[in-house]
Structure formats: C-alpha cells, structure tokens
Structure 1
Amino acid sequence: MSSVDRVREAVAAIASRQQEMFDLLEILVSQPTVSPPARNSDEVQGILADELTQLGFEVDRWTVFPGDDNIVGRLTGTDSKQANSLIINGHIDVAEVGDDAGWTYPPFSLTKGSDGRLYGRGVADMKGGMAASLFAVKMLREHGVPLKGDLIFQSVIGEEAGEAGTLSAIERGYTADYAVVVDTSNLHMQGQGGVITGWITVESPVTLHDGMRARTIHAGGRVHGASAIEKMTKIIASLQDLERHWAVMKSYPGFPAGSTTINPAVIEGGRHAAFIADRCALWITVHFYPNESYEEVVKEIEDHVNRAAAADLWLRENPPVFRWGGRSMIEERGEIFPSLELDVNHPALSVLKSAYEQQLQQTPVVDMSPSVTDAGWFAHAGIPAVLFGPGELAHAHAVDESIDPEQLVQFAQILATFIATWCNQAKQVEE
C-alpha cells in the first residue's frame, strides 16, 4: 500500500473512530487543571505521557513548578537531517470555573448537549485541540504512515496564568522547522499581537509625617518632598498621551484602530493616613501589534515616561523604576506573550492550507487572533509558527464552554494530512 493510501485510510479512520477521540477528551476534561490556582496537572500530564509512549515517542518530563510538569514527546523521523520537523504545541491548563451554579452541565464531565455540542471546561480552550491532535497522530501511527522528519508533541503548563511552559520547552532546546499551536482559532490560521505587563514604581528616599505636607514643595514649603501617589498621576498622564499617539500613528492589518493599549490596571501606594505616601506602584498591561517586539515596546514606554519624569522637579531626582514581564502571573505578578507576525508565504502554511482545502473543499481563513497564545514564543525564538486549532473564542473561558464535535473531527483530519505531508518533505536549503 502506498503512503498516500495509508494517509487516506488514517484520515478516514479519524471520522469512523471519532468516539475514541471523544473518550480521550473525556479523560482530559475530567482532570480539573484550572489555573489559577494551578499546580494540579501532574496526573493528566502522566496520562498524556503514557499515550505518547505507547505511540512510540521518546518522552521528556520535567518540573516547571511543583505540581506542574511539562511533557514533550519526540518521534524521530527516518531521515531527520533531510526532512522537515514539526512541533505540535498545546497547554493542558484551563480557565477558572469559580461558582459552577450557572453551568447547565458539570464543568469537569464531558457532556453532549441537546444541541449536539460537547460541553466541559477546556473543550474549546484547549483540551479539545490536544485530544484531536494526539488522535490524529495515533491514526497515522496505526495506519503505518512513515514520517521522515521529527515530530515533537508538547503538552505545556501555565498558559492561562501567563506562565512560561512553552518558553521552558524552548529553553530546553526543543526546536523545529515549523510549529503549530493548536489553541482556539475556530480553524482559522492566525498570527497575533502581543501582551506584556509591567510595574512602574515611584519611591521617595524619605518618609515624611502627614504634618510635614504643608512644608513640602507640593504645598509651597521648603522641604524637597512629595507624595509618590501624586507624582504617579503624572506618569499615568504620560502613558495616556503615549497610548493616544499609538492609536493615531500605529496600525496593522486585521486589527481595529487603537488596538495598541496601555491599561493602568492596578495601583498600590501609601502606608498609612498619618504619612505622606513614600511609595506608589502601578501595574500596567500593554497590547502591541504583530510586527512589534515586546523589547521595542518596553523601550518606547520607558523613554516616554522618563522624559515626562525629567520635566518634573521631584521626579527628575527620584525617577521611576520599571520591572517588566515575568514567568508567572501567579508567582511574580507578571507575564509576557510575544507577538506572532504570520509568514503567509511560508511553505508550511501553504501545506496546511492545502490540507484544509483538501478536507473541507473550501479556502481557509487566514487572519489575526484578537487574543494571545503561546504561539508568540516560537516566533520570538526564531521558529516559524501558526495558531491553528478548533473551538471558538466566544466559548473559551465561558460558562457552559462547548465545542462542535464535527469541528474536532475536521481539525484532526486536516492536521493528520498536514503532518504526513510536511514531515515527508525535504528541508529547504538556505542560499
């Protein structure tokens, strides 16, 4: 039997044996890997590790945070040096549920609703994508489809809480010629903007009693002191000016005007009503476009704020201090989601589009995600990538999260065809 026939049989089996995929999804949904609080994925990661081992993958497991391990499986191709390699990436954590009284169906039990959709926390974001991806690989393996290039399957932790599960896998040395992040995209092929959080802190070198306010420079006295809270208002105003400037001067196809934003999300300052505030910290969230790096955006913000501070007599001598990003919103109160500028001319995207058209007999939508995912970490590391997965954003994180089971089947069939094609093509030789 030819390889083409084997692929065709594997794709057909995805549909005829789809209940097996739903059974795997049921197991994944039953594990309440909500993040935060996180630190609860060890059991389900063990299940996935066993599945990968049974499929012939060499499995690597390591702890990112206690109770939260990354799982990466590598299936070494028959001609790794010459053929294309591929990363399939997804996160195993899911959004919080909170009070489940508003749910029609139990959040941690996969349920088929009267409308035919599958319900449960994570089915759209993104245990559905994980189950379908693994099932696609399983059908390729069972039907003897050979792969010349390496296939790397990643189940990472922490995406929901801005934790660096995917970054940890990259730092561990996992790379490939292309990466598909199978997060929620409704079968659109997408790039994305980026997000970074940061802390801006203003601090006085001295702590003054409230009775000294009449003698500070703010009130007209001769003491060179000031309220850190009041000085922070000047920084906030400067951020608003920069945000308005971005709204006018920056744009990117697929995004509404003004999508680059600076949100003053949290402010913390002062110690007691009997003292002049000697410290104030502002937590901001910054959204930027796919053609911008977070390093460039950070520099732009710092330059602008420092110029505003230099125009103030007190801030000139007590300038703001910046702390950007972090590897966990839980541990560090900071996160980074790098942007992904989609290379629409990349040969892997052409192969993926062809697989989509072959399966669905229509042209895929190539656009930009209004959200952010771990896909940007691959671009930041120089690994070409695309966001492509089942599920709709409107259902992710929602009460009664759900997904169309037919779309899960379609996604698995497209991905199986893509893997079988891409991982059997020769690497492009750089000139």
Structure 2
Amino acid sequence: MSELDSSSQKVNQWIDDHHDEIVGFLQELIRIPSVTPWFQPAAEESREADVQTVIGKRMQALGAEVKRWEPNAQELAEYEGRPGYYADHLFEGRPNQAAVLKGSGEGRSMLLTGHVDVVPAGSGWTVEPFSGDRKDGVIYGRGTVDMKGGIAAMVMAVEAVVKAGYRLKGDVTVGTVVDEEAGGMGTLDFVDKGYRADACILTEPTNMKLAPLCRGILWGKLTIPGRSGHIELPQGDWREGGAVDAVALARVFMDHFDRLNADWRVRKVHPYLPIPCQLYIAQVNAGEYPTAFANKVELVFDAQYLPREKDEMGLGGKVKAEIEEFINQVAMTEPWLREHPPVLEWLIDADCGETPVEHPFVQSVLNDMELSGLPRTIEGACAHTDIGWFETLGIPSVVIGAGNPRLAHQNDEHISEEDLIKLTKLISNVLIHWCEIQ
C-alpha cells in the first residue's frame, strides 16, 4: 500500500483528534426522530426539517451556501412515470437541502448525498431507539446505519479538510434529501433543481465495500379472489354456487413463484452481486372468520431487477411485464381463475443504476480505499439506493458507507465508532484527491 500524502495525513490526524466530536455529531442527528410520515400515524410530526437545520448550521460554519426548499408533487408532474414520482406525496415541513462549499476553481466537483428520513423504531429494542446510546465503542439508535452515520461522516469529512487548513479546488455539495424510505421523491426533486457534479458518493451502509451499482425494487400486491362459504359444511362444485378457498389458490401461486425464482437464480445474476434477483412474498392477508373459507387473499411481494433490465423510462417495466405474464399463465391453470382472474397492483418501482468499474472515478475511490487501509472490495448494493437518477444524468456514482446494511430497519440498529471514523477518513481522502487542494 502506498503512503498517504502529507495533506491526507494532516486531515486524518484532525479526524483522530476530534473523534468524540464526530461521534457527538452523529448522536445529535440520531436524537432527532425524523421518521418518514408514510409509516407512522398522521398525528405524529416528522422532524426531518430539524435534522436539516443541524446539518445546515454545521455546513454554514464552514463557509457553505445552504439552500432549503420543500418539494412539490404538482411542480414535478412532468416526471409522471419516471423514477421517484408519486403524485400523492406531501412535503409540508419536510425540506430538501443543498450545502455548497465553493472551491477555488479548476477542480473536479463532488456531490455527497444521503437521506435524513428513517423508518419507525418498531419494537424489541434493548436501548431507547432515539437516544444515541454509546456503549463500548458502539453507537445505537434508529438511523445509525441507515443512514445518519453516513451523513455524519460526509459532513465531518468536509469539516476535517477545512479545519485542517485546506481549500479544495472543486466545489463540494452536501445534498441531504427526504422521502427516500417511501420511494425516493426527494432525490427526484433534488436533481430537478439542477444540482450536478463530476462525481457522486452516496453513503448508504455497505460494510465499507464499494458498490458501483444497486438493484431496482418492485413492490406488488396480488389479490386472488375466492368465494366464502361455511368451512365446516360440504360445498360442492363452484359452478353450482360452492365455496372457493382463496388460501388454496394462493398456495398454487406461491408454489409457482418458487419455480419462477429457480429460473431467476440462473438468469438474473450480476458478477458484483452476492445474490440473484428473486420474488419474495412479504405479506399474506386473508380471511374474515375462522368458520369461513377466505373470500380473497392478498399476496404482497418484493421483486428485484438489475440495471440492465431497466426500461426506456429508467424503471422496471420490462420485469413488471414478465411477472404479469407469469401470473396470467398460472391463472390459466385454474378453471375458477380463468373466469375470475386475480388482480395485480403495483405499489412501488424504485429505480437502480450502475457505473462501470473501469470508470476513472470508481478506480480513484478504490485507490483511496487502499490508501486508507481498506480492502479494495467491490460488491453491489442488493437493496435500492438513490444513485439511479445521478447515473441516468451521466454522473459517475458509487455507494459506500459504514455499518452492516442488514442492521437497517432492525431493532438495536447500531454502528461502531471505528467504522464511522474510517468512513470519515476515506471521504476526506477522496475529496483531497478528486477535487484536489489549492
């Protein structure tokens, strides 16, 4: 491994000297319960704006120009049918924010971005979920890995460069958005406002592996009709008014989905992804009474797709069509369903993106990982991230962040202080070498 240059050494030393301050900044962010309103009662207030205030003040103190605004679905109506657009999403009190630190000129620009919304705490915690507890070198709380740890690292990396006495040549934008946990409309609005850069880093958790791609995600709800009837009595043929057990029909679909997944395990793979794309049932909603056959069953599922499968709108239309045809074929095997077809409703289509590993920016980040003492490990993000729009606009983009992504949305979500500091140092090194110092 090559040695760090003197500027990186000096910045890294500042980070080491301010370890507790970096941890404290993350704790401050965690203690603000910025739960996305789509997953909590309407009476509960989302505090995404309070998180933006804390970030904005810190960036303003470094000399950044900070702008905040609330997205507006009506103003984004031209994007209907494109990634991230949802006509019914509301943003009162939920601002996006861009903090731009101007460089001295003639340097490449950088966008550091992430989302400030988190999912609800849920149950089963052994610590208070919004306390930011610090125990034995570990910080606990909702959003530590997804993704306030990444936001804290990006902000403190910029601060480390400035406080160590350096000015970058290229501009750095810290873009923090809302609504990622509900489909990504915050990022759509952010790019609509014209924010661009020569490269982008999104600090979602990756266990410090470099992800130059993420998968697209489809949520669907398949409603399978039946006909209720007394479960304890003989029913006879459905053509003569007998009951039809929707649960039994749901089992038929689930068995066929297993067959679909076996095919996808061969076809829908990527050299930088550890698992293939699959269609998984996440929710089964059925039945009205213990004494009646189910009148219908709802199967809510999650299916993934690869960047190479995107349609002309940048979404998963091709994979949707594939799933729809498969469901129609299964329905044709059942006489009842031929006359009473199931109904498929698409709930979410979250886009994806990929930057080639050979791209100079990806190689630059890999070099900085090596300089920072990290292995040059490439592994794509299996879940959705917000890099799709940036990649679509021609901005080379990668995802890299501290913490185990499997801890996202779990109780006792946590991140180690060691990983937080490693990420802060890595981002500062990328800024020094990509944007260059004056």
Alignment TM class, shorter chain as reference: 0.7 to 0.9
Q: Alignment partner for residue 258 of structure 2, among 240, 249, 255?
A: 240
Q: Deviations over 1:2-59 (max 9, x none)?
A: xx76555333322222332222222112212245327232212222122233332232
Letter in 2 for 1:22: V
Moved more, 380-389 or 39-48: 380-389
Letter in 1 for 2:197: A
Letter in 2 for 1:185: T
Task: State the TM-score, normalized to the length of structure 2.
Answer: 0.76
**CA distance in 2: counterparts of 1:99 and 1:225, whole angstroms:** 39
1:350 is matched with 363
Moved more, 181-190 or 59-68: 59-68
Letter in 2 for 1:57: E
Letter in 1 for 2:361: A
Q: Structure 2: which 5+ runs fail to align?
A: 72-89, 311-315
1:367 is matched with 379
Partners of 1:112 and 1:119 within 8 A in 2: yes
**CA distance in 1: counterparts of 2:221 and 2:417, whole angstroms:** 42
Letter in 1 for 2:156: F
**CA distance in 2: counterparts of 1:202 and 1:109, whole angstroms:** 44
Q: State the SS of the aligned residue for 1:65.
A: coil
Q: Structure 1: which 5+ runs fail to align?
A: 327-335, 426-431
Partners of 1:121 and 1:400 within 8 A in 2: yes
Partners of 2:35 and 2:119 within 8 A in 1: yes
The structure-2 alpha-carbon separation of the partners of 1:414 and 1:312, relative to structure 1 and needing over 3 Å to count, comes to same
Q: Alignment partner for residue 301 of structure 2, among 276, 280, 284?
A: 284
Q: State the SS of the aligned residue for 1:110.
A: coil
1:90 is matched with 114
2:222 is matched with 200
Q: Alignment partner for residue 57 of structure 2, among 50, 67, 78?
A: 50
- 1:209 Cα deviation (Å)? 8.6
The RMSD of aligned alpha carbons is 3.7
**CA distance in 1: counterparts of 2:246 and 2:194, whole angstroms:** 44
1:417 is matched with 429
Partners of 1:203 and 1:278 within 8 A in 2: yes
- 1:129 Cα deviation (Å)? 1.6
**CA distance in 2: counterparts of 1:310 and 1:383, whole angstroms:** 45
Partners of 1:198 and 1:322 within 8 A in 2: yes
1:14 is matched with 15
The structure-2 alpha-carbon separation of the partners of 1:273 and 1:171, relative to structure 1 and needing over 3 Å to count, comes to farther
Q: Deviations over 1:235-275 (max 9, x none)?
A: 44443332222124443335456x32212333446778999
Partners of 2:180 and 2:186 within 8 A in 1: yes
Q: Is residue 398 of structure 2 the alignment partner of residue 386 of structure 1?
A: yes
The structure-2 alpha-carbon separation of the partners of 1:121 and 1:274, relative to structure 1 and needing over 3 Å to count, comes to closer
Q: Is residue 144 of structure 2 the alignment partner of residue 120 of structure 1?
A: no
Q: Is residue 172 of structure 2 the alignment partner of residue 165 of structure 1?
A: no
2:160 is matched with 139
2:97 is matched with 71
The structure-2 alpha-carbon separation of the partners of 1:178 and 1:323, relative to structure 1 and needing over 3 Å to count, comes to farther
Task: State the TM-score, normalized to the length of structure 1.
Answer: 0.77
Q: State the SS of the aligned residue for 1:189.
A: coil
Partners of 2:147 and 2:204 within 8 A in 1: yes
Letter in 2 for 1:49: G
Matched residue count:
400
The structure-2 alpha-carbon separation of the partners of 1:18 and 1:61, relative to structure 1 and needing over 3 Å to count, comes to farther
- 1:418 Cα deviation (Å)? 0.8
The structure-2 alpha-carbon separation of the partners of 1:271 and 1:385, relative to structure 1 and needing over 3 Å to count, comes to same
- 1:89 Cα deviation (Å)? 1.4
**How high is the sequence identity, in percent, across the aligned residues?**
28
